[in-house]
Structure 1
Amino acid sequence: MDHNDLNALTGIRTTAENLVHWIWDALVAGGVPDPLLYRIRLWETEKGYVEITHAEREEV
């Protein structure tokens, strides 16, 4: 899958930052209780990643 496939699948502009939020929302929609999620980390490269925590999502 390349980024064009992800754009079509997710319906969002697929930056890593947007994808972590999309993944979080997809997990909750799939039945994972939001309070059980603590952090999602998406690795872009061997040393680079983006992550979102439950506390950060509550700030928005």
Structure 2
Amino acid sequence: MNHETQTATVILTPVTSNPPNEENLTFWQATPAGNITLQITNPQASSQFSVGTSYYVDFTTA
């Protein structure tokens, strides 16, 4: 969190586990690498993310 601008940067990367579980193996076969980077200026929104926590990301056509 940049306290001067109240901007948080959240970087999401594909989940891997050791040993990998079935869900992670299926995802990994299609998308072995990548990231989503968010810059969030709303502290209530950025507080929804915690380091080390896994999140599902769904894309819906707008």
- What's the TM-score once normalised by structure 1's chain length? 0.22
Greater helix fraction, Structure 1 or Structure 2: 1
